[in-house]
Amino acid sequence: MQVKDLFKNIKNDIKLDLEISGLAIDSRKIKDGYAFICISGTQRDGHGFAQQAVQNGAKLLVTERKLPLDIPQVIVENTREVVGLLASNFYKNPRKSFKLIGVTGTNGKTTTTYMIKNILEASGKKVGVIGTIGTMIGDEHFENNLTTPDPIELHQIFAQMAKNDVDVVVMEVSAHAIALHKMQGVICDVGVLTNVTQDHLDFFGTFEKYAQTKTSFISPTFCKVGIVNADDSVGMDLLITMQDESFNNFKLLSYGINSPADNFATNIKYEMNGTHYFINILDNLACINTRLIGEFNVSNALAAASACNVLGIDVETIKLGLNTMDFVSGRINVIKLQNGASVVIDYAHTPDGLKNILTSVRNVCNGKLFCVFGCGGNRDAKKRPIMGGISGELADFTVITSDNPRYEKPKAIIDEIKKGIESKTSNFVCIVDRVMAINYVLNELNAGDVAVIAGKGAENYLDISGKKVPYSDFETVEQESKKIFNEAQKC
């Protein structure tokens, strides 16, 4: 692609006669003929890697200042703000080929995107998904390193979606992606805000800044129609604020269970094997019978139904999509044990997420409720004692263990969690080894009891000192429960 075409609608004074064969923001990924975009990162400045990029074959530098290198350079005010626009131009604006739904929020993004996928597929649409557990193009699955890929990878994925004739793309939009301008120039047909609760304060510093970043997604800058959870305090504040503002070509809708909303659910019945309720989507009713448990999954379903309805999907098709919805990997996955007890594996890794899953399971648990969880290292440390207190209040017994310690000592993280649980209960133990922690709980379970194993969900590794060690909560439960059953049979 010619440089002037690469910068179309970005910078109009380009006079370089130069062909570019690719884009990269990582100098190690540069190939001959590439343009290297120097990003001023949160830890490293890409301008310092320009020389390496040139040595690797870069033919153009996109910078924020003139560099002392004998190579064509295009200087822009903020490289981070233009990288997505450059990527869109390079891949010939693939976003125009499909409808796009963006889902942001602290919790519920993944489940909501897959509910949307199931509803849209029930209507005959071909759907692409981008998010925490990977990229889906139809039935094909690809791994992602980030919830929202970096802009070059994102538009490359968009190009693949367009090439495969995808009708609708549903993507998770993280707060980091918004703050770091990854969504620059990408306007969703529908934007959803599930909720905003404490997370990522290691990056954002304050909850107010984090919330402001999340809510900024529900605006004409990022979407044509905004859908907001009226049961969420931040969502309600946003709805109240925006109702007094006037926007051209922007529509705002609400959904909720406990607050007045455009779309809502009634007559909800919770059971261990599923949830039953009615949804009202702009005065169109349907009866939902789903395998997914918990009030927050009713909320997720309303978010998904609202988004699909905006795209013209009728309530009967929404009903079909929700009623045939299977478990999302790592999100409230229920495993029945041979002794009549159950294990629930869930990704909950925030205070609100842990509270939601424990409250939901408590409502349908006939016996004792156990909880196994830890907190990730080198992340928001303020939430650790909060989560300890939540488990201490809601679970009958808690096992505090390790969860992606990264470069911190697992015991130090556990000690911080202990500060929150000690004031609530003495019914807990600390077991650093996650396999041993799960084995301990499995040995304690009797018929009717439920153990919630939170924090990792479908992750297949433990992040320890920069290495991803193979590990799975699912495999651990399967293997350890077999050992326990076999030992019991011997007795």
Residue 148 and residue 294 in one domain: yes
The residue assigned the tokens 């133990």 is 429
Residue 255 and residue 136 in one domain: yes
Residue 123 and residue 58 in one domain: no
pLDDT tens, position by position, 21-51: 999 999 999 999 999 999 987 678 999 999 9
pLDDT for residue 43: 74
Helix H segments across 288-348?
295-310, 315-323
Residue 296 and residue 354 in one domain: no
- pLDDT tier for residue 450 given thresholds of 50, 70 and 90: very high
Residue 264 and residue 285 in one domain: yes
Whether residue 440 is contained in a domain is answered as: yes
Q: What is the mean pLDDT of residues 222-240?
A: 96
Whether residue 186 is contained in a domain is answered as: yes
| Amino acid, res. 228 | V
Residue 386 and residue 270 in one domain: no
Q: What is the mean pLDDT of residues 441-455?
A: 96
Q: What is the mean pLDDT of residues 466-483?
A: 94
Total domains in the chain come to 3
* The last residue of a domain, from among 275, 295, 323: 323
- pLDDT tier for residue 344 given thresholds of 50, 70 and 90: very high
3-class DSSP state for residue 232? coil
pLDDT at 377 over 60: yes
Q: What is the mean pLDDT of residues 321-331?
A: 90
Q: What is the mean pLDDT of residues 188-195?
A: 97
Structural domain of 402:
333-490
Which run of H or of E encompasses 289?
A: strand 284-290
Q: Which two tokens stand for residue 233?
A: 């305090």
pLDDT for residue 133: 85
CA pseudo-torsion sign 165, 170, 176, 182: positive
Residue 346 and residue 475 in one domain: yes
* The last residue of a domain, from among 79, 108, 141: 79
Whether residue 86 is contained in a domain is answered as: no
Phi-psi region of 49 (alpha: psi -120 to 50; beta: other; left: phi over 0): alpha
Q: Which two tokens stand for residue 352?
A: 């609100």
pLDDT tens, position by position, 125-172: 999 999 988 899 988 888 877 788 899 999 999 999 999 999 999 999
Residue 41 and residue 136 in one domain: no
pLDDT for residue 331: 87
E strands present in 173-247: 188-193, 223-229
E strands present in 38-151: 60-63, 73-75, 99-104, 127-131, 134-137, 140-142
pLDDT at 202 over 90: no
Residue 369 and residue 478 in one domain: yes
pLDDT at 65 over 60: yes
- pLDDT tier for residue 95 given thresholds of 50, 70 and 90: very high
Whether residue 89 is contained in a domain is answered as: no
Residue 366 and residue 246 in one domain: no
Compute the distance between CA of residue 416 and CA of residue 381 in angstroms, rounded to an integer.
Answer: 8
Whether residue 268 is contained in a domain is answered as: yes
Whether residue 411 is contained in a domain is answered as: yes
pLDDT tens, position by position, 112-129: 999 999 999 999 999 999
Which run of H or of E encompasses 207?
A: helix 207-215
**Helices 109-122 and 295-310: crossing angle, nearest 10°?**
50
Q: Which two tokens stand for residue 201?
A: 């304060």
pLDDT for residue 273: 85
pLDDT tens, position by position, 284-302: 999 999 999 889 999 999 9
Q: What is the mean pLDDT of residues 360-377?
A: 94
CB 101 within 8 A of CB 289: no
pLDDT at 489 over 80: no
pLDDT at 16 over 70: yes
DSSP tag of 408: S
Whether residue 482 is contained in a domain is answered as: yes
pLDDT for residue 486: 77
Compute the distance between CA of residue 460 and CA of residue 475 in angstroms, rounded to an integer.
Answer: 9
Burial of 207 (C-beta count, 10 Å sphere; 0-12/13-18/19+): middle
Domain of residue 456, CATH code: 3.90.190.20
pLDDT at 490 over 70: no
pLDDT for residue 146: 78
pLDDT for residue 143: 83
Cα 483 from chain centroid (whole Å): 34
| Nearest of 296, 292, 297, 287 to residue 318 by alpha carbon | 287
Q: Kindly give, in sequence order, each residue whose CB lies less than 8 Å from that of residue 304, ignoring residues fewer than 6 positions away.
A: 112, 115, 116, 119, 318, 321, 322
3-class DSSP state for residue 373? strand
* The last residue of a domain, from among 79, 112, 136: 79
Domain of residue 14, CATH code: 3.40.1390.10
Cα 459 from chain centroid (whole Å): 13
Mean pLDDT, the chain, as a whole number? Answer: 93
Return phi, psi of residue 176, to 5°: -60, -40
Q: What is the mean pLDDT of residues 53-71?
A: 96
H, E, C per residue of 260-277: CCCEEEEEEEEECCEEEE
Domain of residue 158, CATH code: 3.40.1190.10
For the entire predicted model, the pTM comes to: 0.86
Cα dist from 237 to 106, 232, 242, whole Å: 16, 9, 9
pLDDT for residue 491: 56
Compute the distance between CA of residue 34 and CA of residue 24 in angstroms, rounded to an integer.
Answer: 7
3-class DSSP state for residue 97? helix
Residue 447 and residue 369 in one domain: yes
pLDDT tens, position by position, 49-58: 999 999 999 9
Whether residue 85 is contained in a domain is answered as: no
**Residue-level length of the chain:** 491
DSSP tag of 196: -
pLDDT at 474 over 80: yes
> Sheet holding 428-430: strands in order across?
333-336, 342-346, 450-454, 369-373, 397-400, 428-430
- pLDDT tier for residue 330 given thresholds of 50, 70 and 90: confident
Residue 124 and residue 219 in one domain: yes
